A and B are shown apart, each in its own frame.
Chain A
Amino acid sequence: MIYRFCLSVLAVLVGAAITGGAASAHPHVWITVKSELVYAPDGSVTGVRHAWTFDDMFSVFALQGLDSKKKGEYTREELAPLADVNVTSLKEYDFFTYAKANGGKLEFNDPQAGYYLDYNTKESVLTLFFTLPLKAPVKAKDLSLEVYDREYFVDFSFAEKDPVKLVGAPAQCKLSVARPQEMSAALSQQLSQLGPNQRDPSLTVGAEFANKILVKCP
């Protein structure tokens, strides 16, 4: 019986571990994403150039305690240590960037030197610029790029205007962007009735709620 008891407790702990593994809070940081897919002359994708703009509350928080010559203004040089912190901690989360080519996952190297932060005085927001090079450039007929935090601590969304650009891509490549949309109450209701692996074809939810870039090349 002790055995049985221990087994139950173990089950509880394992259950807690599984459900708790990826747990976090609701978003505390909002990021507006602009991305560029960079192509080599031979038509292969070499990497992703990101420009991430943080929300004002987080921007103000991140700037806390940072010295600047002019009050309320920060130069790239003054922001350099902060940019280092950002890029270093983002490594832990794979830069929240997930790419697939022809159905297979793509691996990224850490950002090259040259990343930086800009401060927009008017909006009081920070923007982080960095480039993620692919480990191996790839020629892809189907390429998808997603930016999200699976723990949903950071809420990512593509910019309204020019969210994605293709840089040096073959002329025939076609780009489409699927961005998350605000959910209506009715849709929320429908979603809550779906099973975990169930898809309602009329909802096309996956596409609507992921920040997804799709590039099709012949």
Chain B
Amino acid sequence: MSVKPVVGGRPVVHFALVIAALAGLMLVAGALDAALAQGGPFGAPRAQAPAPPMGGVLGWIFAKQAEFYRQFSSLIRAAKADGSVAWGLFGLSFLYGVFHAAGPGHGKAVISSYMVANEETWVRGVVLSFASALLQALVAVVLVGIAAALLNATAATMKRAVDLIEILSYSLIILIGVRLLWVKGRVFLTTLRALHRPAAVGAAVTPAYSLHGHGHHDHQHDHAHDHALAHAHDHGHAHADHDHDHHQHCDGHAHDHAHHHHDHDDHASAWGHAHAPEPEELAGPGGWKRGLSAIVAVGLRPCSGAILVLVFALAQGLFWTGVVSTFIMGLGTAITVAAIATIAVFAKSWAKRFADTRSGYGMLVMRGIEAGAALVIIGFGVLLLTGYMVSERMVGL
């Protein structure tokens, strides 16, 4: 396919369109966090507050979780007298978790952005969501277990502990974002430069890449399934066989890129410039280790509601009932976050399919989306750390 049409004005419009789609995508996750808390109680717009209107569904979720939460104290009290009430408490905890995660403070936005920035599968998204939610429950249990149950610390001390954890968690989020931006940003710039190169350098480069294009053909027959995406990336600047290879990366993820890395280095040297890290460097075999950082960053901050429930249960002499309840809450939370992360993954593969039809610029757009998602993670981290965006207020009254 020729390079010419892509350099024209129209692709820029498409590019802008896809970026707009990205903006929408990121905001769905982010604004969900925010919108819930913005309106007045029960979905009513509130005097003086610059509240956006609350949708019927959001308002309902909002009212529900408050309603569930209010039942905790009476159920825990009742469980003290009648052990079988605990089952009701566990059921309530599950429902509360599901609804509560739709509200702010459960890393939906960060996890979703992380999913978009990386070449992750929805399965990884689900695992990431469950791991971070369960870690969150664990932190709440350990915190209350040590601080309140063992040391008999005051609520104010626990608040300070949560504040510290918060700072750590948000700093980690920023770090993850910066790291992703470093990787994705460079890939984006390389793709951008490579895209302009044929037009600028012209004939001098042409022979090299036609040769390279041929070599590629063989290569593809051998490994098409393994590293569809890695190819896609390179073809972004190879410009050879566009229609051909774009079919392959619809699956949206790459495995085993490790073994074909050297192949790409070859391509890169053919181009005479350094090769940026593979876009899927954060997925693949080593991805779990990096996924762990996201799990920790998101799961570190315990949910205020869980801490209150645990302390209350402890005061009633039902600490272990509170612990089970907290983990069940985490399970409910995980289901909601996993659903949102999955939507983010599919939204990205949709964007990818859209981008693929735009030849060279399509790749650039995808890399741009990934770099943009990394920026969004940094943005969330900074807003959270500076207290400009409150994920969840710890009780300090």
Which residue among A11, A23, A58 has the maximum number of chain B CB atoms within 10 Å of its CB? A23
- Is A66 an interface residue when CB atoms closer than 8 A count as contact? yes
Contact of A61 among B12, B54, B55, B312 (CB under 8 A): B312
Q: Which residue of B lies closest to A20 (CB)?
A: B389
Chain B 366-397 per-residue mask, 1 if CB under 8 angstroms from chain A, else 0: 00100010011001100100001111110111
- Is A172 an interface residue when CB atoms closer than 8 A count as contact? no
CB-CB under 8 A for A4 and B27, given A21-B389, A26-B66, A58-B395: no
Chain B 60-79 per-residue mask, 1 if CB under 8 angstroms from chain A, else 0: 10110110011011000000
Contact A20 B30 (CB under 8 A): yes
Q: Which residue of A lies closest to B23 (CB)?
A: A12
Contact B42 A188 (CB under 8 A): yes
Bound-state CA distance A13–B53 (Å) is: 21
CB-CB under 8 A for A25 and B104, given A89-B397, A209-B46: yes
Contact B311 A64 (CB under 8 A): yes
- Is B315 an interface residue when CB atoms closer than 8 A count as contact? yes
Contact B36 A26 (CB under 8 A): yes
Contact residues in B for A19 (Cβ distance below 8 Å): 27, 30-31, 34-35, 38, 52
Within 8 A of A (CB), among B2-45: 12, 15-16, 19-20, 22-23, 26-27, 30-31, 33-45
Which residue among B19, B44, B391 has the maximum number of chain A CB atoms within 10 Å of its CB? B44
Minimal beta-carbon separation of B54 from chain A (angstroms): 7
Bound-state CA distance A57–B16 (Å) is: 50
Number of interface residues of B (CB under 8 A): 84
Contact residues in B for A29 (Cβ distance below 8 Å): 395, 397
- Is B105 an interface residue when CB atoms closer than 8 A count as contact? yes
Q: Which residue of B lies closest to A27 (CB)?
A: B66
Contact of A196 among B51, B69, B390 (CB under 8 A): B51
- Is B158 an interface residue when CB atoms closer than 8 A count as contact? yes
- Is A120 an interface residue when CB atoms closer than 8 A count as contact? no
Contact B20 A8 (CB under 8 A): yes
- Is B258 an interface residue when CB atoms closer than 8 A count as contact? no
Contact residues in B for A56 (Cβ distance below 8 Å): 73
- Is A155 an interface residue when CB atoms closer than 8 A count as contact? yes
Chain A 194-205 per-residue mask, 1 if CB under 8 angstroms from chain B, else 0: 111000000001
Contact residues in B for A58 (Cβ distance below 8 Å): 308, 395, 397
Contact residues in B for A89 (Cβ distance below 8 Å): 396-397
Contact residues in A for B143 (Cβ distance below 8 Å): none
Stretch from A132-140, A145-153, A159-167 contacting the other chain = A145-153
- Is A175 an interface residue when CB atoms closer than 8 A count as contact? no
Contact of B372 among A8, A22, A55, A90 (CB under 8 A): A8
Contact B53 A192 (CB under 8 A): yes
Contact B63 A183 (CB under 8 A): yes
What are 6 A-B pairs with beta-carbon distances under 8 A?
Answer: A12-B26, A16-B31, A58-B308, A90-B397, A152-B37, A193-B56
**Interchain residue pairs A-B with the least CB separation, the first 10:** A20-B389, A192-B56, A65-B154, A19-B34, A23-B34, A183-B42, A57-B73, A209-B44, A89-B396, A8-B19
Beyond A28-B395, A58-B308, A192-B55, 12 additional pairs, beta carbon < 8 A: A2-B192, A9-B375, A17-B388, A19-B31, A22-B50, A24-B37, A24-B390, A61-B312, A64-B311, A64-B314, A209-B44, A209-B46
